[in-house]
Amino acid sequence: MTRTTDVTQPLRIALAGLGTVGAGVIRLLESNAELVTARAGRPLQIVAVSARDRSRDRGVDLTPYDWVDDMTEMAARDDVDVVVELVGGSDGPALALARNATGHGKAFVTANKAMIAHHGLELAAAAESAGTSLKFEAAVAGGIPVVKGLREGAAANAIEKIYGILNGTANYILSTMEDSGADFGATLKDAQELGYAEADPTFDIEGVDAAHKLAILAAIAFGSRVNFDAVQCEGISRVRAADIAQADALGYVIRLIGMADVETAQDGARALLQEVKPCLVPKGHPLANVTGATNAVVAEGNFSGRLLFQGAGAGDGPTASAVVADLIDIARGETGAPFSVPSDSLEAVQPAHSGHRIGQAYLRFAVTDKPGVLAEITAAMRDAEVSIESLIQQGRANHGGEVLVAMVTHHGPESGVSKAIELLRDSASLTAPPLVMRILED
């Protein structure tokens, strides 16, 4: 939908958050002012800014803008048309600012994936009721226009599946482990020293960040209510260098994959599966060649076929680019349902379970080096009716006598693998919980 807009007047912006992305937005609007004005149909003008520390040098000139100590007050200003939130956090001041903005009829732009994943439905309903815009392209995959791609470019398609690499930190660690042969701990430390990982990397390496993004994408793709709590989440901290090497020998790479699809029962009821888990990806698959701190999203439409969105998933430039793209849409008067369909039409889809799904899996066991262990594992596979395609005993992994046993299953229900793992849960032979990774179909 396009609203009538006075294109003779600039779009007046209040900017909350002056970290790397906020400063990047200012630099982009300064550097590309003529281009942005031409494409937006009118100038984009920052009138007010807010951040925690007024004295900090951010490498940009803030003197042209009003400083606001309490960012939640910016939404009430008469000289503001749109509020941009780059503070972060699912609740607190960011959420208060979002509510104030829509409450005052102001358009709202955010890069805050956690807030949209937890409160997106509420904020979308408020924006629609106020007749204003809620936009969050920068919340998912940085500078990659995947939200716009799904909402607009693929709007004519029924999306059958959406999946991809949604966290650059995890992808950097895994692809660096491939290149270096180093184990997870050493690679994470190096990533922190280089600035690719936070001092507390939990959200990145345990899949929470990717889960926030997946919940948002699933809502757009399938017309469902955002349901972050239903995302099944597992990170990469248990992936070892030995797993990377074994995957390579088998013709795969390991990637942290967020995946969502919908099952439809005979009575028409739908169930939504949302998972973030490390997977073995065939080397011929488009995602296998995504390395470093890059994001990539695959959407499979019933008429478009496979669509691939790939690019920088974070950083001041790419994220600022996505923020300003949303501002250009607002300046043009373009609006519409934030999640593709009106919020009151979003379906409360029940979570699906993957146990009945057919596929192959990679299993790795760390066990004590003693006779009979391999027989114990294969007996559990037999009792769970899991067929083994290949099995590799890798020898000692350390001086404590631990050995690694890896196997790939034939195609079969995932419930069988779960049953086998349960049968081995109390085994004294296991020195660590088994690692199970789905093999992504090519």
Instruction: Tell me which residues are annotated as active site.
Output: 213
Residue type for 411, please? H
Token duo for residue 355:
């146990």
Rounded Cα distance between 72 and 248, Å, is: 51
Q: Residue written as tokens 């439809």? A: 264
Which one, of 365, 355, 429, lies nearest residue 391 by Cα? 365
Residue 291, SS3 per DSSP: coil
Q: CA dist 371 to 367, 375, 379, 391, 407, Å? A: 11, 9, 14, 17, 18
Most distant CA atoms of the chain, gap in Å: 82
Classify burial at 372, counting beta carbons within 10 Å of its beta carbon; exposed 0-12, middle 13-18, buried 19 or more.
exposed
Strand residue runs (E) in 131-181: 134-135, 159-165
Rounded Cα distance between 396 and 16, Å, is: 54
Rounded Cα distance between 125 and 379, Å, is: 54
CB contact at 8 A, 164 and 140: no
> Residue 352: CB partners within 8 Å, gap ≥ 6?
262, 263, 271, 272, 273
Which one, of 212, 216, 217, lies nearest residue 162 by Cα? 217
